[in-house]
Amino acid sequence: MSWQLRVGAVQMCSGDDLDANLMAVAGAVKAATADGAKLVVLPENFSFLGTREQDKLAVAEDIAHGARGRILQTLRELAEQHATWIVGGGTPEIVPGDSRRTFNTAVVVGPTGELVARYRKVHLFDVDIPGGAVLRESDATAPGVEPVVVEIEGAKVGLSICYDLRFPELYRRLVKDRGAEVLLVPSAFTAHTGAAHWHLLLRARAVENQAWVVAAAQGGRHNEKRESYGHTLMVDPWGTVVAERAEGLGVIVHTLDGEAVATRRRQMPCLEHAVLWT
């Protein structure tokens, strides 16, 4: 585990203006790579966040078949221009044969502009929060079924999106079954749930899996119905927050390393002791 990876995590406040969102992405990628980032992580809904779940159908792209839709093509061009990896943390993907729903898909684009991997969000956010929002992601989203780990600059990186954070069994599979050392959690956590659980859950996932956690977040008020918590952060394998942006648009950059993972797993071999119940 001798790798090092300088990562930029982007905080946005996306809305229903695709042009404005993609312009913000371009600026963030430029800022992160200027600070040496070799991987830039964008939050969930980086491309579009509308008032209704169904609004995203208008911008969904056929990612599965490599179609060069505007969103994916923008990420390809930015990755190639800046010679960096980009993880688009959640964008609408067409579901073949289903005109009512999209996948919520994280795309991994390599530094030569190729689509390397994609992860479709498994856990959908259908909640009625006391004193908070009522949201039903499944109204216009189909769930994914497969965990995904991709190697980036020598690091094994596990993918997840937002509400996945509440399901530790997913991360255990990413780490135990597929060898992940870095866990990405691009999100649009609501202001209400974020204030209660965001830091707690992210640090817990880092501690129990002895892995780096990178959480690029939406932050601020998107529209009259939706406000996100923000607090883009990175957590080391001991559970220490090493970088954080509480509010506002911008980027945090930090260098992750494999030795920190190896050291913690050697000192306290929890993963070797773990029993996976069936």
Kindly list the catalytic residues. Answer: 44, 121, 162
Quick one: which of 198, 204, 193, 208 has its CA closest to 244?
198
Question: Under a CB-based contact definition with an 8 Å cutoff, are residues 53 and 20 in contact?
Answer: no
Residues ≥6 apart with Cβ < 8 Å to 42: 10, 12, 25, 28, 86, 87, 88, 89, 186, 216
- Rounded CA separation 259/193 (Å): 33
CA-CA distance, 9 to 76, in Å (whole number)? 18
Evaluate whether 101 touches 142 at the Cβ level (below 8 Å). Answer: yes
* Angle ∠(238,179,208) on CA atoms, nearest 5: 30
Q: What DSSP assignment string belongs to 152-220?
A: ETTEEEEE--GGGGG-HHHHHIIIIIT--SEEE--B--BHHHHHHHHHHHHHHHHHHHT-EEEE-BBEE
Q: Is residue 29 within 8 Å of residue 86, measured between CB atoms?
A: yes
Is 264 strand, coil or helix? helix
Residue 30: HSE in the Cβ half-sphere, 13 Å Cα cutoff: 6
